[in-house]
Amino acid sequence: LSLLSLIGGAFLPKIAIITIPLGIIYLAIGIGAWQENRKAAAAGMWVFLIAVVMRAASFAVFPFSWGKAAHLLLWGWIAWEYRQALKRWETESDEEADSKPLISIALLLKTPRYLEEAILAQIVQSAWGGNYTEGDDDDRDGFVVGKSPIFMVKCPQGMFLVHNHQTPYFYDIEETAGHFREKRLRHAIQEHQAWIAVDLITPFDTSLPREEYYPLIIRLIYELADEDVMAVFRPETGQINIWADDVLEALLMPQGEDQFNQVTPHPPVIPVSADDPEMIAAVTEAKRRWPEFLQAFQMKKDGDHFSIKAPVTSDGVTEYIWIEVTGLERDYIHGLLGNEPVALEGFHLGSVVEIPVSDLNDWCILSKGADPVGLFTTKAIEAAENRDKCAKEPTDDSTKE
């Protein structure tokens, strides 16, 4: 392209007042094209296109000549080559950008978080050590600049962005939630109101794979997390999990970013249709064999665990949840919630509940050295989950845990 620009410029009118400025322009365009400068290439394309138009217009005023026609074809060809170069460079740039993965961890929050430079600098200092707050800039290990929703953080390892947005993370929440059958994950995606994320922007040691910077990001994410965190998300791979101590421990392990979504911090909550034949049969069997549970409970030993599953309702929301049995009456079961509810207002793991025997859905007896007895609905839930994997159309008639 550089050579073509100079050749094209050689066919300029032999008038000094025109030739000298245009010669400088063509030379600058040629040098820019040699350096693969997009602005120079775009300028070259338009300059030669204008030359083509002007040469074509001259045929309407001056007699036709093969020399002028050759100039027109040459300039048109050069303009075409510049256009092709721009398209090629754009494609190469896109491929290069696509080859760099987004190294990021995001937290989905119940409520927006207040964050400012001074607060974030203290958090960065706690996560990474060093000095980000005291003394002059030259004495610090890095800096924090910006304001919500975007902060830039410089540390000895590289440049990072910290996001603090007061909006949901996902563009189409319902569509995203529809990809997940597990009720807790769906609830976190649907109900989160804000998000925080840490992104790697520029690593200072380019010899390292970009994935090597995940531990640094995770340490900062750990310090940014609080009780409002609902889920943790890895944009690069689409991995997501409920935020819990077990998940955090997995993240902090070597290569934790690859494993954290394989941790199950709570028993999965799977929606099953209320009229599912297998579920109806399982519940019927659990109720038929309820006297076995009553008899075993009267003879329980230390280390034995007796649980039932039943619906618990709060503010119009019902969840089927396991309950650790602490006492039995003829018509009522007393116990403690054995799982963390998904969305039961006022209830949590260990909450005291009283359940009518008529609401019994399933039961389980765990004795030391013996196989579990009960768990009648487990197969029905597994069958429903397998059907959903094929249909990929979750239902919300009721929730089974």
Local confidence band at 60 (pLDDT 50, 70, 90 cut-offs): confident
Lowest mean pLDDT among 142-156, 238-252, 295-309: 238-252
Local confidence band at 265 (pLDDT 50, 70, 90 cut-offs): low
pLDDT for residue 219: 92
pLDDT for residue 233: 92
Q: Which residue has the tokens 């083509």?
A: 52
What is the Cα–Cα distance from 386 to 401, expressed in whole angstroms? Answer: 15
Residue 73's SS3 state is helix
What is the Cα–Cα distance from 203 to 35, expressed in whole angstroms? Answer: 25
202 or 48: whose pLDDT is higher? 202
pLDDT over 70 (residue 125): yes
Local confidence band at 224 (pLDDT 50, 70, 90 cut-offs): very high
The full set of domain ranges for the chain reads: 2-98, 104-262, 270-400
Are the CB atoms for 131 and 141 separated by under 8 Å? yes
Cα atoms found within 13 Å of the Cα of residue 15, Cβ hemisphere only = 3
- For every residue of 185-230, DSSP letters joined together read HHHHHHH--EEEEEEEEEES-TTS-GGGGHHHHHHHHHHH--TTEE
Are the CB atoms for 278 and 379 separated by under 8 Å? yes
pLDDT tens profile 322-350: 999 999 999 999 999 988 888 788 898 89
Mean pLDDT, all residues of the chain:
80
pLDDT over 70 (residue 11): no
| Tokens linked to 168 | 């949901």
What is the Cα–Cα distance from 263 to 129, expressed in whole angstroms? Answer: 29
Lowest mean pLDDT among 23-27, 150-154, 366-370: 23-27
Residue 348's SS3 state is coil
Identify the CA nearest to 43 among candidates 79, 97, 74.
79
Are the CB atoms for 369 and 275 separated by under 8 Å? no
Local confidence band at 291 (pLDDT 50, 70, 90 cut-offs): very high
Lowest mean pLDDT among 165-174, 232-241, 272-281: 272-281
Local confidence band at 388 (pLDDT 50, 70, 90 cut-offs): low
Percent of the chain past pLDDT 70, that is, above it, reads 75
Percent of the chain past pLDDT 90, that is, above it, reads 31
pLDDT for residue 62: 72
pLDDT over 90 (residue 84): no
Residue 275's SS3 state is coil
Burial environment of residue 350 by CB neighbours within 10 A (0 to 12, 13 to 18, 19 or more):
exposed
What is the Cα–Cα distance from 234 to 51, expressed in whole angstroms? Answer: 52
- Phi, psi values for residue 177, rounded to 5°: -60, -30
Identify the CA nearest to 378 among candidates 256, 252, 283.
283
pLDDT for residue 289: 94
CB atoms within 10 A of CB 223: 15
Residue 236: enclosing H or E segment and its boundaries?
none
pLDDT for residue 389: 57
Average pLDDT over residues 93-112: 76
27 CA to centre of own chain: 48
Amino acid type, 398 = S
15 or 179: whose pLDDT is higher? 179
Local confidence band at 287 (pLDDT 50, 70, 90 cut-offs): very high
Average pLDDT over residues 54-81: 72
| Tokens linked to 139 | 């004495």
229 or 3: whose pLDDT is higher? 229
Q: Report yes or no on whether pTM surpasses 0.75.
A: no
Burial environment of residue 153 by CB neighbours within 10 A (0 to 12, 13 to 18, 19 or more):
buried
What is the Cα–Cα distance from 300 to 326, expressed in whole angstroms? Answer: 11
pLDDT over 90 (residue 100): no
What is the Cα–Cα distance from 41 to 276, expressed in whole angstroms? Answer: 66
What is the Cα–Cα distance from 209 to 270, expressed in whole angstroms? Answer: 38
What is the Cα–Cα distance from 7 to 30, expressed in whole angstroms? Answer: 10
pLDDT over 50 (residue 209): yes
pLDDT for residue 95: 52
- Phi, psi values for residue 254, rounded to 5°: -55, 135
- For every residue of 125-144, DSSP letters joined together read HHHH-S-SSSS-GGGSS-EE
Local confidence band at 363 (pLDDT 50, 70, 90 cut-offs): very high
